[in-house]
Amino acid sequence: MRAVILTAGEAARLRGWTASRPKGMLPLANRTILEHLVEGLRQAGVRQVTMVVGHGAESVMSLFGDGGRYGVAVAYARQEKLTGTLDALRLGAATAPNEELLVVPGDNFVAPRDFAALLEQDGEALLASEALRWSKWGGLELEGDAVHISYEAPEAMGRLHFTGITRLAPKTVTALTSAKVRHLGQALQALLASGAVQPAVAMAEAWHNIVYPWDLVGGNQVALRYLRQELAGTCEAGVTIRGAVTIGDGTRVAAGCYLQGPLSIGSGCRIGPGNVLGPSTAIGDGVEIGTHCEIADTLIMDSTAIGSYTHLQACVIGEGSDLGAHVIALPGPEEAIYLQSQHSVVDRGAMVGDGCRIGDRAVLQGGCVLWRDAAVGDGETVSGEFPAEDN
């Protein structure tokens, strides 16, 4: 069986972090979303993978190469124009004509065990999950043995959602790729309604739908549940470790730090004395953190610097950003305006894009979004979008 991973999209709602990479290249628990997916496929016994790439294709191809270091063989199909998920499937299917396919959107987290659960079904199958918000892949409605996809959007809580992950027979792949629509889910919806396809439904152990910046906080929380403790770096005397904690090669944690898992610290980091880090925090490679910071429930990407006495909770800090000393970013209002729409941001702090510069004593209010390369001066307070959306 071959897996086709669809990872060509631009992720416009996350453009502060995806200027040069697709959403699947964003990190959760210090591995890209795509790496989590490929590892789950490998564990399920899938050894042939085609990645349909487009926006930021070079970042994907540079990371995975031929797939050898991940225990799979990776081929690529390039979607030159972003003409929809069904067109992406056509390109991916062309690399494996007349084969059974496992189709996987490359931009959401799913527990590694879930691929095996899907493959344990007899024949064709869809992976379903519950979610807090409506998914672009639609809802699933079960009537006896019949399965239907619905794109009506009632309250999402408690509803069964389609994850977009599906196991398809060759004849179904042919029927789908002959459809005259853009979205793979719409083409599948028509086949289900006609009775031409009658798949089984497998329930996901964990699936996280990532659409908006604050979804990365939740995705990081879920991915960290599967963290395995590994202490490859150096901890000075007086460092306290509780729970599952990983520390990468070449990282040094200074005396007096308190590390509460689940916590993942990448390679080549410098963690100053007296910091309280975690739980549910991932700190990328090459990160420098000053002294006496408190950081919890936060995703910090590679090559970021954080000044002393900074307090971050439920935040996303983009790659290559620089935060001064005494910066405060805590959860705030439950509603925020983002891209001219109102959104629920309960228990979410600041969303800081790649390459931002934030001065000493800045206050970043809960739910604010700083676009790529934003600059915040000493002592300034930021709320909402910064700069404005038309930046």
Looking at the structure, tell me whether residues 138 and 180 fall in a common domain.
yes
CATH number of the domain at 342, please.
2.160.10.10
380/223 Cα distance (integer angstroms):
33
Please answer whether residues 125 and 167 qualify as being in contact, where contact means their C-beta atoms are separated by less than 8 angstroms. Answer: yes
**Hunting for tokens 């408190």 — which residue is that?**
294
Q: For 83-112, how does the pLDDT look when each residue is reduced to its tens digit (9 = 90+)?
A: 999 999 999 999 999 999 999 999 999 999
Structural domain includes residue 222? no
Q: Which domain holds residue 265?
A: 230-386
Poorest-pLDDT segment among 65-69, 126-130, 166-170: 126-130
At residue 166, the pLDDT reads: 97
What SS3 class is residue 38?
A: helix
Q: For 324-353, how does the pLDDT look when each residue is reduced to its tens digit (9 = 90+)?
A: 999 999 998 778 878 888 888 889 999 999
55/10 Cα distance (integer angstroms):
6
At residue 157, the pLDDT reads: 64
Poorest-pLDDT segment among 77-86, 144-153, 248-257, 355-364: 144-153
Looking at the structure, tell me whether residues 205 and 146 fall in a common domain.
yes
At residue 295, the pLDDT reads: 98
Question: What are φ and ψ of residue 253, in 5° steps?
Answer: -105, 120
| The amino acid at 222 | V
* Span 275-285, average pLDDT: 98
Poorest-pLDDT segment among 74-88, 126-140, 280-294: 126-140
Looking at the structure, tell me whether residues 202 and 272 fall in a common domain.
no
At residue 155, the pLDDT reads: 67
β-bridge partners, 351: 316, 369
Across 13-151, the runs of DSSP E, i.e. the strands, are 27-28, 31-32, 48-53, 73-78, 101-105, 109-110, 125-130, 139-143, 146-150
Looking at the structure, tell me whether residues 45 and 175 fall in a common domain.
yes
39/35 Cα distance (integer angstroms):
6
22/59 Cα distance (integer angstroms):
8
Beta strand 357-358 pairing with 335-338:
unpaired
Looking at the structure, tell me whether residues 205 and 240 fall in a common domain.
no
Looking at the structure, tell me whether residues 118 and 264 fall in a common domain.
no
At residue 391, the pLDDT reads: 42
Structural domain includes residue 160? yes
Number of domains in the chain: 2
Please answer whether residues 92 and 3 qualify as being in contact, where contact means their C-beta atoms are separated by less than 8 angstroms. Answer: no
Q: For 291-313, how does the pLDDT look when each residue is reduced to its tens digit (9 = 90+)?
A: 999 999 999 999 999 999 999 99
Mean pLDDT over the full length of the chain: 94
**Residue spans of alpha helices (H) in 44-161:** 57-64, 85-93, 113-119
* Span 357-384, average pLDDT: 96
CATH number of the domain at 198, please.
3.90.550.10
pLDDT(390) > 80: no
Q: Which two tokens stand for residue 241?
A: 């470790």
Structural domain includes residue 319? yes
Looking at the structure, tell me whether residues 206 and 237 fall in a common domain.
no
At residue 203, the pLDDT reads: 95
At residue 337, the pLDDT reads: 79
DSSP string spanning 270-281? EE-TT-EE-SSE
At residue 240, the pLDDT reads: 98
CA 151 to chain CA centroid, Å, is 23
Question: What are φ and ψ of residue 20, in 5° steps?
Answer: -125, 15
Looking at the structure, tell me whether residues 84 and 25 fall in a common domain.
yes
51/6 Cα distance (integer angstroms):
6
pLDDT(151) > 90: no
Of the three residues 155, 176, 211, the one that is the final residue of a domain is 211
Q: Which two tokens stand for residue 230?
A: 């590994």
At residue 154, the pLDDT reads: 61
At residue 325, the pLDDT reads: 98
Compute CA distances 215 → 124, 318, 320, whole Å. Answer: 30, 14, 20
Q: pLDDT confidence of 388, banded at 50, 70, 90?
A: low
Q: What is the pTM of this model?
A: 0.96
Structural domain includes residue 266? yes
Of the three residues 211, 244, 278, the one that is the final residue of a domain is 211
Structural domain includes residue 223? no
What SS3 class is residue 48?
A: strand
Looking at the structure, tell me whether residues 180 and 297 fall in a common domain.
no
Of the three residues 154, 181, 211, the one that is the final residue of a domain is 211
| The amino acid at 371 | W
What SS3 class is residue 34?
A: helix
Structural domain includes residue 193? yes
Looking at the structure, tell me whether residues 183 and 243 fall in a common domain.
no
Looking at the structure, tell me whether residues 260 and 175 fall in a common domain.
no
Structural domain includes residue 221? no
Structural domain includes residue 113? yes
Q: For 214-226, how does the pLDDT look when each residue is reduced to its tens digit (9 = 90+)?
A: 999 999 999 999 9
Q: What's the half-sphere exposure (Cβ side, CA atoms, 13 Å) at 212?
A: 21
Looking at the structure, tell me whether residues 154 and 255 fall in a common domain.
no
* Span 209-234, average pLDDT: 95
